[in-house]
Amino acid sequence: MKVMCFFLVIAILLVGCSSPPVILATQPVPVASTSTSLPQKTSVPPTITHTPTETMTLTPPPTLEPEQAQEVIRILLQEAEFDCPAPCFLGIVPEETSFDETRSSLISSGFPIEQQYINNEGIYTSYELDNGLSISVLIGIQNNIVEDLRVYITPKKNSAEKPREWVAYSPETLIRRYGTPSKVEFFVGGVPPPGQLHMMILYFESANLIVNYSSYDSGTYTDTGEFHICPLINDQDHIRIWFGEHPLHPPLPEVSLEEATSMTLEEFSELMTGEPDHACIDLDMEAFY
């Protein structure tokens, strides 16, 4: 009996000594505290994914009905935009306007986005009015900003309308707005007369603007061998416009006003802003050959 009591006492002491490990094993406080921090960590991803959704998702501009688009583009070609710090088209300014702003402006004005290059590198769109005039817009994009902006206008042939349906980009309008061109050049050639191609190119360097007026069959040869043109009343087959300080594929250098005529740039500007029927120029053909 004494022996059994001895072993019972030993067993009780051993159980009492083993209780601390049980307490240590059941201490969950540090684990519980880390588990309460998990919701804080899992709450971060919704914040990260939410921000790009707001900044990258654009509300598509309303699509114009064909009649509305016709009117918007017709007004655009009749009224020059003077609300830009530099020449602009639909508010698009090279090296300032973003890709998204450009695309939205074109769509909201009725231009269909016919082709969008990969990686937002450019936009091409064109529109033809019911009067036969067509307009094409080519825009180069770099780093999500407009780098190059070109507009090509093809007027309807033999138009008797005055003012021209594209008067916003006619020589007299641009000279009145931006002053005397920094440079005027001419080209005569292409095919034998009477189907002769001639071009008049105006440079407005302070405004980062170049305009090339191209025409077939509008000029005539004089008895003295000069080439007679009247830019304000002759039909123009194409008007090409370059916007921006670094134009892509600008016109090649041609014969200067001073080489082809006896006029100065100031006299040319005065002629172009005078009576349209009298705004005619005789080009010395010897300067072209």
**Pair 129, 74: CB distance under 8 Å:** yes
pLDDT classification of 20: cutoffs 50, 70, 90: very low
- On the question of pLDDT at 195 being above 90, the answer is no
| Stated length of the chain | 289
Mean pLDDT along residues 89-117: 85
Place of tokens 């998990």: 38
Q: State the pairing for strand pair 145-154/238-243.
A: antiparallel
The pLDDT tens digits of the residues spanning 117-175 come to: 555 678 989 899 888 899 999 999 999 999 999 999 999 876 555 678 899 999 999 99
pLDDT at residue number 72: 84
Mean pLDDT along residues 249-265: 96
- 3-state class (DSSP) for residue 245: coil
Q: How far, in Å, CA of 81 to CA of 173, rounded?
A: 11
The pLDDT tens digits of the residues spanning 217-236 come to: 788 888 888 999 999 999 89
CA distances from 227 to 85, 197, 274, 276 (A): 38, 11, 21, 18
- Compute the 3-state secondary structure of the chain and give helix, strand, coil in percent, each to the nearest 5: 40, 25, 35
pLDDT at residue number 217: 78
pLDDT at residue number 120: 61
| 229-264 CB burial, b ≥16 within 10 A, e <16 | bebbebebbebbbbbbeebeeebeebbebeebbebe
Q: How far, in Å, CA of 175 to CA of 203, rounded?
A: 10
pLDDT at residue number 39: 39
- On the question of pLDDT at 242 being above 80, the answer is yes
- Rounded to the nearest integer, the mean pLDDT of the chain is 77
Mean pLDDT along residues 104-125: 77
pLDDT at residue number 184: 98
pLDDT classification of 1: cutoffs 50, 70, 90: very low
Percentage of the chain exceeding pLDDT 70? 68
Q: Helices 29-42 and 44-56: crossing angle, nearest 10°?
A: 0
Give this prediction's pTM: 0.75
Q: How far, in Å, CA of 188 to CA of 183, rounded?
A: 17
- On the question of pLDDT at 202 being above 70, the answer is yes
Best CA proximity match to 124, nearest among 109, 136, 142: 136
pLDDT at residue number 116: 58
- On the question of pLDDT at 18 being above 90, the answer is no
**Pair 215, 237: CB distance under 8 Å:** yes
CB within 8 Å of 99: residues ≥ 6 apart = 120, 123, 141, 144, 145, 146
The pLDDT tens digits of the residues spanning 49-91 come to: 333 333 333 444 556 677 788 888 888 888 766 556 667 888 8
**Which tokens belong to 124?**
């091409």
Domain extents in the chain:
2-56, 66-288
Q: How far, in Å, CA of 23 to CA of 20, rounded?
A: 5
- On the question of pLDDT at 115 being above 90, the answer is no
Q: How far, in Å, CA of 134 to CA of 154, rounded?
A: 5
CB within 8 Å of 213: residues ≥ 6 apart = 171, 199, 200, 201, 202, 231, 236, 238, 239
pLDDT at residue number 113: 74
